[in-house]
Structure 1
């Protein structure tokens, strides 16, 4: 049996970010392994599920997607193995309540058992093995969302994986809270759940789960996040940033920016290194990348990527595409088609 339904939480009185937040629920159950393979596959990473030694299997999966985060409640009977072809573009968190599961992709297998959550980055889950009866909650977070949050927290561009530690204790502390957040999201959005009428609450729960992962789990940027926040930027750095924002579409030079900030080029560079951990021109480049991304999302379809890119000073489209994909997790043309 298969059930699929799409729901939208848009409303004219909501902020634009929430008006565009579409809710989609997909429920599948049965014994057909080809259908299970289809459910667990993504556009860029198909997976083939098979039953070990031709044993009987059964599954029940309920996926709910809202924006760039999805949650799921899945249960399996029997022994099922799968091999993924390709790399998924999201972080996956498994929060089991019953049964065993293992993942291949790293040097050593990663095991998921009740009380022990598993966090997988895109390249960590090329193969899976499920020993039923198995039940788990899942949370999927687009890799682009992870990099956007870190970029916002550090005020500089973050790209690539974050090397997060794959294990998280679900019996206490952050892991227990994370499991409760995901459970609340899924039960509140499933069917006619009460969260469907409260997109602000949904957004808060999504954000809480993502920031909990980034702030409570060990990864490449944990030590930097634990340091005290930097002191407020001095006046000349603020003047420079304000000038960049006001004249972002103009061909600015380092000398221009330093003159407006009323300091020497060297002093301006030192200020940005100390208080923004970057250079003035890299900061300007980041502002333009963010503006380009926003315009691509809001475009009415009447402009091309090249036209929008040129508006923000990006001439070399090939170079831009590679950098944009690193920054936002997709090509400019993919953002334009949303």
Structure 2
């Protein structure tokens, strides 16, 4: 019988235990509910099966910590509807995907494509942090980066070198999301602007940091925006501080793709467009709070400038101005 979510687990994402079990059939069924139907077999009996699966899901992505405790063979066939980045935290696994056999350990992760079959063998000490991203979401982000429809599905190289600069960065991004979720700083699934941005950032990280069949398209699209495009973007941001605008909204108004927009903001302001938007909202709220006449409440200043979470507003406000919004000048 799977243990309930209030019981203690080990590993990452401890605040989000899905199940623990020593029963092979139960493990297969529970894991399948979050990923896909698959074949699961224990290899040998020298270790006792002790499966732990921690799981937190957003709208289009999920973060997972998975450990079987014994040598197992996993055959999911086609994933069909999602991509799967598997980052080993300990131990090793053998992964066969796209006709390539990869020995995955602390230095090598694997990235599985939806339309290619996979077979895996996990050694008993193998523990993995797993990022699952829906196929439709990744396709949409890829098209926003390229600025045009893609000729077909995105297919990544299976092997992810965690010793390379891109691999190190990719691992840090995923681990940082897991750590922020564990701390309660990030709430995947809330549907607010922060977690939706994180889902886009995770997909963009895969697309820009791991080689794929569209890397050449993204490289060609990576040109700087014109001054007019940046001006349109900045004007749109300041005119819509209270609105739930997205990175795609800003890029569309500016008439450039997302990656070009981001490059331009980095070059001109040393910020991403969404960091610029956050700072503009904070500056507007700060001005309203220090004005003596018709002074708004902290809640009014936050919500009136596009913040949906008072705790994050207070945290960001203090980082920018050195005091909490409740400690503003009067």
Shorter-chain TM-score tier:
0.5 to 0.7
Change over 3 Å in CA distance of 1:121–1:194 after alignment to 2: same
1:68 counterpart residue number: 60
Residues of 2 paired with 1:43 and 1:216: CA distance?
A: 26
Q: 1:195 deviation in Å?
A: 1.7
Q: Judge conservation of contact 1:103–1:125 (CA < 8 Å) in 2.
A: no
Aligned to 1:216: 209
Number of the residue aligned with 2:287: none
**Aligned positions of 1:79-228 closer than 5 A:** 79-84=71-76, 86-158=78-150, 160-190=152-182, 193-196=184-187, 199-227=192-220, 228=222
User: How do 1:33-72 and structure 2 match up within 5 A?
Assistant: 33-42=24-33, 45-55=36-46, 56-72=48-64
1:121-161 Cα distance to aligned partner (Å, 9 max, x none) = 01345322110211111100001011111222233322643
Where structure 2 has 5 or more consecutive residues not aligned to the other structure, the ranges are 7-14, 227-255, 258-330
TM-score by length of 1: 0.56
Tell me, yes or no, if the aligned pair for 1:104 and 1:124 is still in contact at 8 Å.
no
Q: Distance in 2 between matches of 1:120 and 1:85?
A: 11
CA distance in 1, matches of 2:194, 2:63: 15
Greater alpha carbon shift after TM alignment, 57-66 vs 196-205: 196-205
Give TM-score, length-normalised by structure 2: 0.57
**8 Å Cα contact 1:111-1:118 kept in structure 2:** no
Report the Cα distance in structure 1 between the residues aligned to 2:108 and 2:55, rounded to whole angstroms. Answer: 21
Secondary structure at 1:63's aligned position in 2? strand
For 1:39 and 1:207, the matched residues in 2 are separated by: 27
Aligned to 1:248: none
What's the offset of the Cα at 1:230? 8.9
Distance 2:115 2:78 in 1: 9
Note closer, same or farther for the CA distance 1:139–1:128 as it changes in structure 2 (3 Å cut): same
> What is the DSSP-based 3-state SS (H/G/I as helix, E as strand, rest coil) of the residue aligned with 1:64?
strand
Asked whether the 8 Å contact 1:119–1:168 carries over to 2, the reply is yes
Measured against aligned partners, the alpha-carbon deviations of 1:178-213 in whole angstroms (never above 9, x if no partner) come to: 2222222223324x7232398444333332221121
Q: CA deviation at 1:110?
A: 2.7
Give the Å deviation of 1:33.
1.0
- For 1:299, the equivalent position in structure 2 comes to none
- Trace 1:299-310 onto structure 2 (pairs within 5 A): none
- Contact preservation (8 Å) 1:64, 1:70: yes
Gaps of 5+ in 1: 6-23, 233-274, 277-338
Q: Residues 225 and 26 of structure 1: is their aligned pair in 2 closer, same or farther, counting only changes over 3 Å?
A: same
Matched, 1:30 2:21: yes
Measured after TM superposition, the shift of residue 113 of structure 1 is 1.0
Distance 1:25-1:125 versus aligned 2 partners, 3 A rule: farther
CA shift digits 1:55-109 (9 cap, x unpaired): 4221211011111011111223221112225543101001112111122343232
RMSD, aligned CA: 3.0
Q: Deviations over 1:19-60 (max 9, x none)?
A: xxxxx9551112111121112215894112111134422121
Alignment partner, residue 274 of structure 2? none
